Amino acid sequence: MELLKHWKEIVSVVLAGQKSSIHCSVASVDSNGLPNVTPIGTVFLRDNATGYYFDTFTSQLAKNIETNPNICLMAVNTKSSYWFKSLLKGRFATPPGVRLYGTVGELREATAAEKQTIEIRIKPTRWMKGSQLIWSDFTHVRDIQFTHFRPVQYPRMMAHLWND
């Protein structure tokens, strides 16, 4: 499947996954070949099959990409009403999830625009103590260049989706 052809739909699926789960899962592999999955709530996608994430609380991921920059980002819509409706009808109205494959770049300082995007995302929770403890020091990001994708598949319920 062509990444750029489906990019708008991919972004929509990732946003639904982030909204329902509050994070994306990012898989990496360490220097010994052992896999690691990191939940990241600060992933943002751009219009050109790239994205970035704030590199905070990602020590194992950061270590893994030093030796192997390849990652798989997965987002799944976990909203219970979405799944209930889909199971009831025997059909997904929208794709339930997607895996994005790509490479992660070097750590760099976040731009003012990138800092603003995270401020907008965390604003509703800013008043909570936990929010202040977790989401108050976002300064550095890593870019992601996506190369291809693979939908989360339930073929009998989604034959009408991802048509090429």
pLDDT in tens, 34-57: 999 999 989 999 999 999 999 988
* pTM for the model: 0.92
| CATH for 42 | 2.30.110.10
Give the pLDDT mean for 87-97: 96
Domain of 37 in residue numbering reads as 7-107+140-154
Q: What's the one-letter identity of residue 90?
A: G
Query: Whose CA is closest to 100, among 40, 163, 31?
Result: 40
Residue 113: inside a domain, yes or no? no
Domains in the chain, number: 1
Contact 76, 17 (CB under 8 A): yes
Residue 73: inside a domain, yes or no? yes
pLDDT in tens, 12-30: 999 999 999 999 999 999 9
Residue 33: inside a domain, yes or no? yes
